[in-house]
Amino acid sequence: MANIEIFSKYLPNFLFILLRASIFVSLLPFFGSKSFPPQFKIGFAIAIALVLTPIVEFKIKEGDIPVLVIREVIFAITLGLAVRFVFMAVDMAGQIISNAMGLSIATVFNPELGQSTEIARLQGIIAMLLFLAMDAHHDLIYVFVRSYELLPAGGVDIKDLMAEGISLGSRVFVIAIKIGAPVMVGMLIASFLLGFIYKAAPQINIFFVSFPVYIFLGFLLMLFSIPVFVYVLGGYFSEIKNEMVRIIAIARG
């Protein structure tokens, strides 16, 4: 009987911790990847919940459970998107570059985001390697564990939190344009120059000439813009920890 009472005492804490942890892990880059076995992600979330259950104490009333669940889900999604939005921007930048180079037809199935281009996959791999090299995944787990200390269940203010989640979506486009800007500008200049060539020599079939020019110039610009790509992503990766702390502060009200 004593063991059952102890178990029932910690069960609500475990379930609420597991709810937040499972959603956060599913949105994490690398750990939450669809290429990872589901057993790993489930086990990882359960391990976090088991470790934190004895040391995290929630004051939960039975009548407030549905509201608390909704608040926890919104908070966990927003916290996970604070990490994932950078990788979503990288994929979007790859799609934009592929469209500019004329390679958008060469799509493959990306387990992360469905249909994607090879350029987007290449940039995604570089971004993931940079993310792991900067040891950013350890910072994310640290901030997530601290979130239970700073913001226990029931203390989430979803009014400002939902507005912050929407603003994160708009930042995806800004980051994507920054990453793809060198190639986009180069393709635009190339289009103007090819237009002048066509006006000067209309007998040239500019449609067939432009394809190899766009592909060669696109890959060349991507090669020379790698330092810019790494610099921009490194700045955002180093700010992810502060972004998560800011979201926790907003959720506290």
Return the closest-CA partner of residue 100 out of 225, 249, 251. 225
Give ∠ CA 112-174-217 in degrees, rounded to 5: 80
Structural domain contains residue 164: yes
Structural domain contains residue 151: yes
Residue 105 pLDDT more than 70? Answer: no
pLDDT class of 32 with cuts at 50, 70, 90 = low
Q: How many domains does the chain fold into?
A: 1
38-78 pLDDT, tens digit per residue, is: 788 888 888 888 888 877 777 666 666 777 888 888 888 88
Structural domain contains residue 201: yes
Question: What is d(CA 159, CA 26) in angstroms, rounded to the nearest whole number?
Answer: 24
Structural domain contains residue 242: yes
Structural domain contains residue 51: no
Structural domain contains residue 34: no
Structural domain contains residue 61: no
Domain extent at residue 105 = 72-252
Residue 138 pLDDT more than 70? Answer: yes
Structural domain contains residue 113: yes
149-199 pLDDT, tens digit per residue, is: 777 666 677 777 777 777 777 788 888 888 888 888 888 888 888 888 877
3-state secondary structure of 78: helix
pTM across the whole model: 0.78
Residue 5 pLDDT more than 60? Answer: no
Q: Which are the contacts of 84, defined by CB distance < 8 A and separation ≥ 6?
A: 27, 28, 29, 32
More confident residue, 118 or 5: 118
